[in-house]
A and B are shown apart, each in its own frame.
Chain A
Amino acid sequence: MSAALALAAPRRVRAIPGFGLAFGITLAWLSVIVLVPLAALAIRPWELGPLGVWDSLTEPRVLASLRLSFGAALLAAAIDLPLGLLLAWAIVRLRFPGRALLDAAIDLPFALPTAVAGIALTAILAPNGWLGAPLAAAFGWKVAFTPWGVVAALVFVGLPFVTRTVEPVLRDLGAEAEEAAATLGATRPQVLARVVLPALLPALLSGFGLAFARAVGEYGSVIFIAGNMPMVSEIAPLLIVVRLEQFDYAGAAAIGLAMLLLSFPVLLALNLWQRALRRGRA
């Protein structure tokens, strides 16, 4: 929305002063905390030589872990979409006792240390846990110590990203557009499909992207619940740790760099899609 508005606003009239200082701070802050450290990450793997990097990344165990990390992150972000939308909608549009509590609780995955989240989720979903036991008894499902445990942990850490990106847009949307559409004789499903969802789509995409990005790299909450079986439930960040245990800094940095480069196209595609949507609506 905001970008659409910014695009629609009259192109610059005159410069606002003070750019120099602010830009200086921005660049210094960005360089010290993000760019220089990531440069270290980008340079370190090449000690192995290009072939060495290729070999260290195409090992079956590494490939399997990348598949799991990216697959589980995409799946978790996709599950977060309807759940996050539902929660955002409930907070904005519904009045019910406990709404404020729900509103506050949504940020919980941000506030809870990931290791604690991991231990708590494992305690709940383990075959002898509060949810794990009934699930195993009723359906024979096993969640903890399988790839599904990874997905469950990632759904948890990603949820607030979707809710918190969609919520302000939903608030902003108000009821006017929907009412107008209804006045024009649209049925409820038509309003949903033609008015509400298109307006929400950019925010949903952005929330999906953030939840996905956070989930791909997640370590603390996953490690307790995954089971960590090579080729099955071993996530890529764990392999980074494994490489470090062998004092293989370059190999560890190689996986880190690969993860960063692999998530980039996904995020870029989401970004472009979002921009196309905004252009289309502007």
Chain B
Amino acid sequence: MPRPSLARRALLAAPLLPLARAARAQAPRELLNVSYDPTREFYREYNAGFAKSWQAGSGQPLRVSTSHGGSGRQARSVIDGLPADVVTLALAYDVDAIAGRGLIARDWMGRLPHNSAPYTSTIVLLVRAGNPKGIRDWGDLARPGIAVITPNPKTSGGARWNYLAAWAWALRQPGGSDATAGEYLGRVFRNVPVLDTGARGSTTSFAQRGQGDVLLAWENEAHLALQEFREAKLGIVYPPLSILAEPSVAVVDQNVDRRGTRAAAEAYLRGLYAPEGQALAAKHFYRPRDAALLAANAARFPAMDLVTVDAAFGGWGQAQRSHFNDGGSFDRLYRPGR
């Protein structure tokens, strides 16, 4: 019989090739915003408005796509080659990680006002209807018999803010030190029955599955949960002290230069600081940077004493190393024998 030709063999292996070509970088009139979980509703509305105003200004049609997921996973996808034009992540540490691989200029934080965080948020306590367990402040979370729901700080950016907010509170208590804070968080986490991998998972466990007495949540997530689970009649407790969460945004330099989308990407981020962007952020319960707008919304954003990660923990790199990396303070909470 005739030997099977090489061509026939090649034919069998060929189907993958055209696919790879078809998936070449998309046309430049598309913008990809890689973001974290709780920003879905906000960016859906912002994208529509931005695409319209960009087309009005430049005459080019533009389509903005978004990708959402845990902040750390999203940063890793960008590092691994997800062609993001802009990243809007939960914490500066994740943007730093991308900058560390050379995709974003190292001085990204200074390129936009307010540390490149166009809106802020904080961590609040979400409780059941009528607050039956009388939860008022961080100290109540460590009481015996209180079940606390928070996602896993190892997999969720929001959970890291929760953890640091509680830690910062413990440091401010009389005689507070790293030792007392660690001991306090140990008691809090003994009250945690479920550690979901993401913030949205925790909200579902709390609101839909009826787990726990209190949920530690982003301020905007707490408001969203009030709306989504109206029949549960949840309530928000604002602790006197919490943390100033500054979700960071940055243009991914390497990608926009390759795709020719820098102008659109930069305009997209600048728009977040413009009055419409700020108003939209406030509408979705992010605290706007615009002081006048914040004052006008004082009823929706009660004044709280908000500490920053830089002041209380010496920046995100330091906080990540001493608390969340392998062997950090969070791991020590779960050492056997404790």
Chain B residue with minimal CB distance to A56? B326
Chain A interface extent, by class: 35 or more
Could you tell me the distance between the alpha carbons of A28 and B4 in the complex, rounded to whole angstroms? 15
Q: Which of B73, B152, B154 is packed against the most chain A CB atoms within 10 Å?
A: B154
* Interface residues of B, count at CB 8 A: 34
Among candidates B8, B192, B197, residue contacting A241 with C-beta atoms closer than 8 Å: B197
> Known contacts A21-B4, A59-B326, A61-B331: does B152 contact A228 (CB below 8 Å)?
yes
Could you tell me the distance between the alpha carbons of A59 and B209 in the complex, rounded to whole angstroms? 32
Q: Mark B297-321, 1 if CB is under 8 A from A, else 0.
A: 0000000000000000000000000
Among candidates B4, B72, B79, residue contacting A245 with C-beta atoms closer than 8 Å: B72
Could you tell me the distance between the alpha carbons of A224 and B73 in the complex, rounded to whole angstroms? 18
Among candidates B8, B326, B334, residue contacting A246 with C-beta atoms closer than 8 Å: B326
Among candidates A56, A61, A241, A251, residue contacting B155 with C-beta atoms closer than 8 Å: A241
What is the CB-to-nearest-CB distance from B232 to chain A, in angstroms, rounded to a whole number? 12
Q: Which of A122-130, A157-165, A182-190 contacts B (4 or more CB under 8 A)?
A: A122-130
> Known contacts A21-B4, A241-B155: does B194 contact A227 (CB below 8 Å)?
yes
Could you tell me the distance between the alpha carbons of A129 and B208 in the complex, rounded to whole angstroms? 10
Asked whether A242 lies within 8 Å of B210 as measured between CB atoms, the reply is no
Measured between beta carbons, the chain B residues less than 8 angstroms from A59 are 326
Among candidates A24, A228, A243, residue contacting B194 with C-beta atoms closer than 8 Å: A228
Could you tell me the distance between the alpha carbons of A145 and B201 in the complex, rounded to whole angstroms? 13
- A247 adjacent to chain B (CB < 8 Å): yes
- B193 adjacent to chain A (CB < 8 Å): yes
- B70 adjacent to chain A (CB < 8 Å): yes
> Known contacts A59-B326, A127-B210: does B195 contact A227 (CB below 8 Å)?
yes
Measured between beta carbons, the chain A residues less than 8 angstroms from B325 are 246
Measured between beta carbons, the chain B residues less than 8 angstroms from A246 are 72, 154, 324-326
Write the residues of chain A forming the contact surface with B, with a CB cutoff of 8 angstroms: 17-18, 20-21, 24-25, 28, 32, 56, 59-61, 64, 122-123, 126-129, 144-145, 223-224, 227-231, 238, 241-248, 251
Give me 21 A-to-B residue pairs in the complex whose CB atoms sit less than 8 angstroms apart, sorted by A's number: A20-B4, A25-B9, A56-B326, A60-B336, A126-B211, A127-B210, A144-B209, A145-B193, A145-B194, A223-B197, A224-B201, A229-B194, A230-B195, A230-B334, A238-B155, A241-B155, A244-B76, A245-B76, A246-B72, A246-B154, A246-B325
